[in-house]
Amino acid sequence: MKKWILLVCIFSFTLGLAQNEILFDSATKAYNEGNYEDAIDNYHEILKSGQHSSEVYFNLGNSYYKVNKIGPSIYYYEKALLLNPNDAEILSNLSFAQNMTIDAIEPMPKTSITRMVASVKNVLTFDQWAYTAVIFMFLFVLLYLAFYFFQFADRKRMAFIASMICLLATAISILFAFIQYQDFTQTQPAIIFASETAVKEEPNNRSNTIFDLHEGSKVFVE
């Protein structure tokens, strides 16, 4: 009975992947032919099945950009960037879409140390940093065992130094994974989809409007 359940699960998973591949190909074909709304529908069907990837989000962003829906376009570029933070094409298209927004919101200035740390930690996502920490820890154990079993002093010294480097790299990877995870869980960005949104003095409709935000602006939810 368990074997049959396992076979059914494997078959369903394989079928789902095959269907998503067909949808992806259909969406790509529709996009290339200029049928952007059909492409958007097919990409959303892939997301509904639980299949998420930077490619799907990136193509959705492109499709929304083609139909001049800047808010959704930026939203899906941002989601693609979460899964692939250093992709030059995603960054470039996101920049193009952001240039189409009305509001010119300047980011808060950062110190050189903050920028340096951010540039390093953003090389990988928090789960990739965690995997890196596991790999370095595995290397540390192997090198420390080598240090223990080596008989010659020069080899023992090299193995010990290398093991300490791996241990330090493990600690740094864990630190960056923790920082990335904190940023991921505590930061709640949102993209405005409405053409115009009023920002009030207080959280009610009776208060005065301070200023207006427009489609595509990125805000952070407290």
Tell which CATH classification among 3.40.640.10, 3.40.920.10, 1.25.40.10, 3.40.190.10 matches the domain 2-100: 1.25.40.10
Indicate if the alpha-carbon torsion angle 79, 80, 85, 86 is positive or negative. Answer: negative
Q: What is the per-residue pLDDT for 183?
A: 75
Closest CA to 82 of 174, 173, 191: 191
64: three-class secondary structure by DSSP: helix
Q: What is the per-residue pLDDT for 18?
A: 58
Q: Hey, where are the domains in the chain?
A: 2-100, 112-186
Q: What is the per-residue pLDDT for 2?
A: 41
CA distance 26 to 211: 43
Q: What is the per-residue pLDDT for 172?
A: 93
Q: What is the per-residue pLDDT for 66?
A: 93
- DSSP alpha helix (H) spans, 69-199: 70-83, 88-98, 112-121, 126-149, 153-186
Q: What is the per-residue pLDDT for 89?
A: 92
Q: What is the per-residue pLDDT for 126?
A: 79
Mean pLDDT in order along the chain per 10 residues (222 residues):
40 49 84 90 87 88 92 91 84 89 71 74 81 94 90 89 94 90 75 81 78 80 68
